[in-house]
Homo-oligomer: A and B are copies of this chain.
């Protein structure tokens, strides 16, 4: 198709043939999603970017949906728990901030992270998706929680984290310079009679420190959990 496609020689003259592994496919896919959003991830377009036939991709992901799952897994794998850290609370706190950072770096992937597991019964998920769960569980159990309590704690923690991320991303504004103007502009459309509070809060909405808000929420949550733990262990 191209010009010098016969380049199958050993040293392909510095041209492009990273020989198409699963990771190569997934990371190019991630690139594409990051750059243009989920809908832009098309078999044909991805094939184009990789310089191969769209059909080749099916060797490495058995459908487009599976490919999306792969992308989500790839992103999640960037997270990891340092298993030997001192305090479970600082652990969870660090992890939360890492996750937040990751979400801000790949905002287009967040819908996948949040949405895809809904269609997959828990046991059938890609392992990469379950690893954080397992890690946190053992972290908590090591910290002294009863296993079943650890599950509750995990739910409370992750629920809050997901919720926060979604909230923060919803208010995300691209250009921090013009943000306030844009916001006002957007809100100006609202009928003043029906939305007085919202309009009045426009400036407050404009300067929103997600990191701090996350941290505050975490302290509340974590101290509460710690109290619960103290009560158990006596």
Residues of A near any B CB (own CB < 8 A): 107, 110-111, 114-115, 117-118, 121-124, 127, 130-131, 133-134, 137-138, 141, 147-148, 150-152, 155-156, 158-164, 166-167, 169-171, 173, 182-183, 185-191, 194-198, 200-201, 204-205, 213, 217, 220-221, 224
Contact = CB atoms under 8 A, between A and B. Distances in A.
5 contacts: A123-B187, A123-B189, A127-B191, A151-B204, A162-B162
A123 to B, nearest CB: 2
Contact of A170 (B118, B141, B190): B118
Copies of this protein in the assembly total 2
B183 A122 contact: yes
A118 B134 CA distance: 29
A159 B155 contact: no
B122 A156 contact: no
Nearest to A182: B121
Contacts of A200: 147
A209 to B, nearest CB: 11
B147 A201 contact: yes
Contacts of A122: 170-171, 183, 186-187, 205
